[in-house]
A and B are shown apart, each in its own frame.
Chain A
């Protein structure tokens, strides 16, 4: 109980939203210079807890002490005044403005432009953060955008820095760079509260972890000594199911053949696809790795039929479908599930049953002569709910009432139960809790085992490496050479993601030899 080294203490923090108890008597202690992980499934209450610490929300009960003194943090501004900074998962950035303007907006007091520029430059230099402060935010990578948020915090000289899922969109190299920055901050005495799903990261970075489940603290551990599996099980409160895959699958012929697919983009900051060619074979899971914004979205649109392509550029079981609209492609057996659950894969205000109609109409014959077959619709929705253990009141519930993980299970199930010949999924487990993610992954493996081709677009390398047979890396609208998962290293993928187009020989020099 060394009082002097305690920075943040929470005692009995409780927060209720209507019926839901988001935080139930949460207590937590963080020391000076400690990097502490806060882990838990989606909806476990991590975000609510840090929002309370940062003053975005107010606790209904409980006490918070900062540097030993009880505090009431009524707003983010008050939090910043105490020395609490936070980098949100969703950045608070203004795209048409420059980096410097964005930083100026984040300041609580007006600061002379030149003085601000000097301070920012010195912080960038001190923490070795590469960032051009005069560029417009639209032109920056996600990693660079995150650095703006970090600089905003560092300008306030924080004593406590909260990071909410900071690496979900970074390349491994960018993540390593972030960890270096965080470690340097910690050695300077700054306490870091680190929220993440990625247990390997937490084990590499954090010295202690608090595990939340259903709003309650269910355990504390030292992630450096605990196994990932053990932590994951504490998180979901049950034994984790092993992902089962039949060993030694031999893929069949090409189901989906993409040949020299080039797509121009209308989007101001979209990525143009340049001569993308690949084949997805029956029975295999083909991975597309890459940092977001390198053409994945454009490729998804071209595959789904939302943007047109030359007929011959995309072939499904031999027939040219590149110029067909989405319903015709689905009818033939190419199902594409976009990344955004609410608004793209599902209509938030529609019921689950109505949402099945959006993509399963053709293959499941949910309409007859333009009239919806209501009972067929409900049957299908109920089958999806049962098969994928979707937690919902009924198939009448609107899509928006489901948690992210549950809705994701539903939309994945909606596609898989159509038995597509080819299924393309974009980030199917992003922001989904461990239990749901495992179920979704298993479903993809099973679908491939039944002879479909599955194309998995993901930024989660662990996921790609554990599921895929082969993978390509996307960078600036181009594909790398195909990589066989069994033979590839994380470093190599990371370099390809960063744009080093390794043509023939892989790099043998290892980046991290020193440590």
Chain B
């Protein structure tokens, strides 16, 4: 019985970590190209509501995810037009995007509060997914495997492909990349759109899988955790995965201790933990300025104007 609970805890952890990992990977790619998009939370909410509406109207959950990714891209392109084409301040624009996304999702989702939809089934057949032990590995839906595959893909893309090299070069020195003849802004649009797609998916994972129903502000600030994790991971996909799972563990611990009436710490304190850990992670990184600076893409957050 205890064994069963342990397995459940681990599985909950993986489910909790997956959207953070997805959103983080998207942001990681965007930041590697030199764009700091603080609108992750907003893009997640837009994806969450768009995915939920699409899934509940059609009754077809995969369609919900597709729409969520598209909605995330649309939200990120809004950021792109302002920050990349018009050269607005990226921090302010990202914050505005989050506020906008929060409001838009509340408005659009108002009529859907309380409706439920069906989750995606486990990817593997019930003999594996339902097995008391093997479900630990095979018991998840396709999005979980996708997030892990994307971690692989992102690492390989950044380090072993020409496009990845170009993307990094744009993030390290936009002026140099421009001088060599790469379309800096176009490449950044691509990276931002990828970030938007993954943020959309991540948001939809909350409304379509974690709690398959619509509630206002369903992502509950996890977009910020994803953002912090990108820094925490020093812009490395595998460390991001590790970080996401650690945060997943903390959140799961909070959930189960609440359920078990186990009160080492008041639940409010536990609920604070992931966010506190985020602040701590950022502080630790800030304390090592030269290392932190070395790891960060050098043009992060800097608007680029050709011909300047």
Contacts and interface: CB of A to CB of B under 8 A. Distances in A.
B181 A76 contact: yes
B155 interface: no
A106 B180 contact: yes
A80 B168 CA distance: 23
Contacts of B233: none
Contact of A266 (B169, B173, B180, B289): B289
Contacts of A80: 181
Contacts of A93: 173, 176
Contact of B180 (A96, A105, A110, A267): A105
B177 interface: yes
Contacts of A306: none
A92 B293 contact: no
B298 A76 contact: no
Given A56-B179, A76-B179, A266-B290, A94 B162 contact: no
Contacts of A95: 172-173, 298
Interface in A260-285: 266-268
A75 interface: yes
Nearest to A270: B290
A179 interface: no
A174 interface: no
A97 B181 contact: no
Contacts of A77: 181
Contacts of A108: 181
A301 interface: no
A57 B308 CA distance: 12
Given A104-B162, A110-B162, 18 more contacts: A77-B181, A80-B181, A88-B179, A92-B173, A92-B179, A93-B173, A94-B172, A94-B177, A95-B173, A96-B294, A97-B165, A97-B169, A104-B165, A105-B177, A105-B182, A108-B181, A266-B289, A268-B293
B290 A76 contact: no
A53 B166 CA distance: 25
Interface in B163-203: 165-166, 168-169, 172-173, 175-177, 179-182
A268 B169 contact: no
A165 interface: no
Nearest to B179: A92
Interface in B279-301: 289-290, 293-294, 298
A77 B181 CA distance: 6
B180 A97 contact: no
A108 B172 CA distance: 19
A149 to B, nearest CB: 10
A91 B168 CA distance: 17
A105 B166 contact: yes
A464 to B, nearest CB: 31
Nearest to A86: B179
B180 A92 contact: yes
A233 interface: no
A201 interface: no
Chief secondary structure at chain A's binding surface:
loop
Interface of B: 162, 165-166, 168-169, 172-173, 175-177, 179-182, 289-290, 293-294, 298, 307
A97 B172 contact: yes
Nearest to A268: B290
Contact of A92 (B168, B177, B289, B290): B177
B162 A92 contact: no
B181 A94 contact: no
B180 A76 contact: yes
A132 interface: no
A117 interface: no
A105 B289 contact: no
Contacts of B180: 76, 92, 105-106
A94 B175 CA distance: 10
A101 B172 contact: no
A20 B217 CA distance: 55
Nearest to B307: A57
- A-B pairs, top 7 by smallest CB distance, nearest first, are A92-B176, A92-B179, A76-B181, A94-B172, A110-B162, A77-B181, A268-B290
Interface string A102-122: 001110101000000000000
Most buried by A among B162, B182, B298, B307: B162
A268 B179 contact: no
A267 B165 contact: no
Nearest to B173: A94
Given A56-B179, A76-B179, A94 B290 contact: no
Interface in A62-95: 75-77, 80, 88, 90-95
A56 B178 CA distance: 10
Contacts of A96: 172, 294, 298
A90 B165 CA distance: 21
Contacts of A267: 290
A75 B173 contact: no
A463 B172 CA distance: 35
Contacts of B168: 94, 97
5 contacts: A93-B176, A95-B172, A96-B294, A97-B165, A104-B162
Contacts of B162: 104, 110
B168 to A, nearest CB: 7
Nearest to B160: A113
Most buried by A among B168, B179, B289, B294: B179
A96 B300 CA distance: 14
B165 A101 contact: yes
A268 B296 CA distance: 13
A56 to B, nearest CB: 7
A100 B113 CA distance: 56
Contact of A94 (B176, B289, B293): B176
A101 B167 CA distance: 13
Contacts of A88: 179
A76 B176 CA distance: 13
